[in-house]
Amino acid sequence: MCRQVPRMVGLGIAILSLVWSTSTRAANETEIAEHLIELVNIGRTVVLEHQATINDAAKADKGFTGEFMADEVMERFKKKTKIDLRIPNVVPHANTYVAMLEAEREVVDEAQPVINRQGVGFKGFLHAVFARRVGEHFYQKTGARMKLTGIDYRNSRSKPDDFELEVLRMFSDQRHPKGQVYARNTMVDGRPVLRVMDPEYAAVSCLSCHGVPKGERDITGMKKEGWKEGEFAGAISLVLPLK
Ligand code: HEC
């Protein structure tokens, strides 16, 4: 028995260091995920802020270009995180962040003919459509999935999967600390992934489309959800494959 003790201690240390290294790695990956979500949400905010310009039927060239988007995203991201994507070679995990940034640039560039179309007001280019297309571009570049989702989703492509629905329900519970991100290591299609979901809440700027009266048509022609300021709205969901 005695001879086994050192071995068991050794094993204990091995297990401890394994737990330690996976948890620090998970912390690291969670931070990457949160930064990626930040990048998407900044882009969505930029779209929301420019919705009136985008919808302007009188103006042709709106200057709402991919370059404009990329500049805004880099600037605001730097303010929030101190990470400067203009000098990516000194940024850890810059490739992933730049992939998201480029996805945002490309989506706005591709939408130029729509955004600059004269004589049309609402053109269907809005935050959620932007987010969905960015998710598609980001997936092509990285194999990581990002989507905007909600319990009462409007578009079938935003439909939550089982995991997302469970977390959305948890977020919508009053007992969930407001704004707290949910992260879990799990398997998707037999591969280890980190899943992160970041809840969001209705701001005043959301209510013209998602507010009251419930069921009334918004500018997009869809039915309003009846949200009030501060209410749980939905979440960004990220699935990051682990190496
Ligand atoms: C100009 C109208 C408009 C505004 C303003 C707006 N949304 Fe949306 N939102 C939409 C539309 C339209 C969709 C569905 C579009 C699609 O997926 O094709 C949507 C989708 C969403 C979704 C995805 C789930 C779903 O319902 O499909 C969430 C979450 C969401 N919006 C949250 C917000 C939040 C939070 C704000 C404010 C910060 C906001 N929206 C502002 C029009 C708007």
pLDDT tens per residue across all 243 residues of the chain? 444 545 555 555 555 444 545 556 666 899 999 999 999 999 999 999 999 999 999 999 999 999 999 999 999 999 999 999 999 998 988 999 999 999 999 999 999 999 999 999 999 999 999 999 999 999 999 999 999 999 999 999 999 999 999 999 999 999 999 999 999 999 999 999 999 999 999 999 999 999 999 999 999 999 999 999 999 999 999 999 997
Nearest-atom index, ligand 1, CA of 148: 23
Query: Ligand 1 within 6 A of 46 CB?
Result: no
Look at ligand 1, atom 3, and give the residue with the nearest C-alpha.
Answer: 209
The answer to whether the CB of 40 falls within 8 A of the CB of 76 is no
The answer to whether 54 and 125 have CB atoms below 8 angstroms apart is yes
Query: How far apart, in Å, do the first and last CA atoms of the chain sit?
Result: 39
| Residue closest by Cα to atom 29 of ligand 1 | 234
Question: Tokens in use for 154?
Answer: 């409007």
Q: Ligand 1: which atom is nearest the Cα of residue 126?
A: 1
Residue whose CA lies nearest to ligand 1 atom number 38: 206
Q: Can you give 137-158 as a three-state secondary structure string?
A: HHHHHHCCEEEEECCCCCCHHH
| pLDDT, position 243 | 78
Rounded to whole angstroms, the Cα distance separating 91 from 203 reads 32
Name the amino acid, one letter, at 18.
L
Beta bridge partners of 197: 182, 237
Alpha-carbon distance of 113 to 33, in angstroms, equals 32
Which atom of ligand 1 is nearest the CA belonging to 150? 24
Residue 225 Cα to ligand 1 middle (Å): 10
C-beta 126 within 6 A of ligand 1? yes
Q: What is the pTM of this model?
A: 0.90
